[in-house]
């Protein structure tokens, strides 16, 4: 069985995530301590005690989700015998999850990933005035049809494809009026649903170019090692290992499309037969089932999941 590990993005946060792992395993506790120290605050307290409104703030949610994912992967290494270099064909993550994937593969330290994601979240949030941007999920239309919808809706404004998540699930991002037009046009074109998303900024579109510039500066000052296993990059849906290329792709990712459907399809085509979502929630595992039904999908976020993963590695 060829396995890849995948890491969730924003929207998967939940109060209490990672706490059971931290209470049970020293390896998990060490991750949360490292993230708290890197940020100079008790992000772990917000993760475990809330309130959800504070955890959901972009500047908190991004490093918090990384922390939950890295706690889980480090526990798999410490308790279930996982050797990422030997046991994984690829790692990949959805949006901020790409930083989690890189940290899991030792391309970033956990501390650097936490600081980069705090900066990324802050820069993305502040790039566009509140109310000037929006995002919408278009369900039930294929990717090419949504591209045409976005082009018609733009009308001289920004309406970009933010996420190509799965067949029939595409997210558009841009100016508030352009996104409202996209919702109307998508419904006219037969979308099953076209709904505005409750987000605080228009992520993954050209309106947040200033955030990409901020990340370019920050990434230039951070050591990026060759990852233990290739990372399937969001903006190319192809594997990357070169540190300079990793930096460049992370800068492009801020305003570029998260090509998740194609990323999963690439891994399936490369022989991956199991994808393990590591961290909070089961969003990516659910998408995998829609993209490549032949791939087994699992997730690891609790001590029970760690035990199940360990058991799956034992000979029958």
Torsional class of 84: left (φ above 0), alpha (ψ -120 to 50), beta (otherwise): alpha
DSSP character for 220?
A: H
**Active-site residue, selected from the candidate residues 95, 100, 107, 263:** 95
Pair 187, 231 in one domain? no
Helix, strand, or coil (residue 165): strand
Q: How far is CA 14 from CA 26, 50, 168, 211, in A?
A: 22, 9, 26, 25
Query: Where is the domain boundary, 148, 164, 199?
Result: 199
94 is catalytic: no
Residue 217: phi, psi to the nearest 5? -65, -45
Query: Where is the domain boundary, 181, 199, 217?
Result: 199
pLDDT for the residue numbered 113: 98
Residue spans of alpha helices (H) in the chain: 19-24, 26-39, 43-49, 52-56, 58-79, 84-87, 97-104, 110-126, 143-154, 176-188, 209-220, 243-255, 260-269, 283-291, 303-312
Q: Which domain holds residue 180?
A: 133-199
Pair 216, 264 in one domain? yes
What is d(CA 222, CA 218) in angstroms, rounded to the nearest whole number?
Answer: 7
Pair 112, 236 in one domain? yes
204 is catalytic: yes
Pair 108, 35 in one domain? yes
Residue 190 buriedness (CB in 10 A; 0-12 / 13-18 / 19+) = exposed
Query: The domain that contains 27 carries what CATH number?
Result: 3.40.366.10
Query: Where is the domain boundary, 146, 165, 199?
Result: 199
Pair 86, 212 in one domain? yes
What is d(CA 151, CA 140) in angstroms, rounded to the nearest whole number?
Answer: 18
**Active-site residue, selected from the candidate residues 94, 107, 173, 204:** 204
Pair 91, 30 in one domain? yes
Pair 143, 123 in one domain? no
What is d(CA 85, CA 208) in angstroms, rounded to the nearest whole number?
Answer: 35
pTM of the model: 0.96
pLDDT values of the chain reduced to their tens digit, one per residue, 316 residues: 799 999 999 989 999 999 999 999 999 999 999 999 999 999 999 999 999 999 999 999 999 999 999 999 999 999 999 999 999 999 999 999 999 999 999 999 999 999 999 999 999 999 999 889 999 999 999 999 999 999 999 999 999 999 999 999 999 999 999 999 999 999 999 999 999 998 888 999 999 999 999 999 999 999 999 999 999 999 999 999 999 999 999 999 999 999 999 999 999 999 999 999 999 999 999 999 999 999 999 999 999 999 999 998 765 4
Pair 223, 288 in one domain? yes
pLDDT for the residue numbered 316: 44
The structure tokens 């309406």 sit at: 159
Q: How many domains does the chain have?
A: 2
Pair 102, 41 in one domain? yes
Query: The domain that contains 169 carries what CATH number?
Result: 3.30.70.250
What is d(CA 170, CA 145) in angstroms, rounded to the nearest whole number?
Answer: 10
Pair 189, 234 in one domain? no
Pair 225, 100 in one domain? yes
How many Cα atoms are found within 13 Å in the side-chain-facing hemisphere of 77?
19
Pair 40, 106 in one domain? yes
Residues contacting residue 199 through CB under 8 Å, at least 6 positions apart: 134, 135
């Amino acid at each position: 069985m060829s396995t890849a590990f995948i890491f969730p993005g924003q929207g998967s946060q939940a109060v209490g995530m990672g706490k059971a792992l931290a209470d049970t395993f020293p390896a998990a506790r060490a991750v949360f301590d490292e993230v708290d120290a890197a940020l100079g605050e008790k992000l772990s307290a917000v993760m475990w005690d809330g309130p959800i409104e504070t955890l959901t703030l972009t500047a908190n949610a991004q490093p918090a989700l990384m922390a939950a994912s890295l706690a889980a992967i480090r526990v798999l290494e410490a308790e279930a015998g996982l050797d990422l270099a030997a046991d994984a064909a690829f790692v990949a993550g959805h949006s901020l999850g790409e930083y989690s994937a890189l940290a899991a593969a030792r391309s970033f330290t956990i501390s650097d990933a936490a600081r980069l994601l705090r900066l990324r979240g802050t820069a993305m949030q502040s790039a566009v005035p509140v109310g000037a941007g929006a995002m919408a999920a278009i369900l039930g239309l294929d990717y090419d049809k949504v591209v045409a919808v976005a082009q018609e809706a733009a009308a001289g404004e920004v309406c970009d494809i933010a996420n190509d998540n799965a067949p029939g699930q595409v997210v558009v991002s841009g100016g508030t009026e352009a996104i409202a037009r996209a919702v109307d046009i998508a419904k006219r074109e037969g979308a099953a649903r076209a709904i505005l998303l409750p987000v605080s900024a228009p992520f993954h579109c050209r309106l947040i170019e200033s955030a990409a510039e901020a990340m370019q500066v920050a990434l230039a000052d951070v050591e990026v090692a060759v990852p233990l296993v290739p990372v399937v990059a969001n903006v190319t849906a192809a594997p990357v290992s070169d540190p300079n290329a990793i930096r460049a792709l992370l800068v492009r990712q801020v305003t570029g499309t998260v090509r998740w459907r194609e990323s999963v399809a690439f891994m399936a085509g490369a022989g991956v037969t199991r994808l393990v979502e590591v961290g909070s929630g089961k969003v990516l595992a659910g998408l995998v089932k829609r993209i490549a039904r032949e791939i087994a999908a699992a997730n690891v976020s609790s001590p029970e999941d760690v035990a199940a993963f360990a058991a799956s590695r034992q000979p029958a």
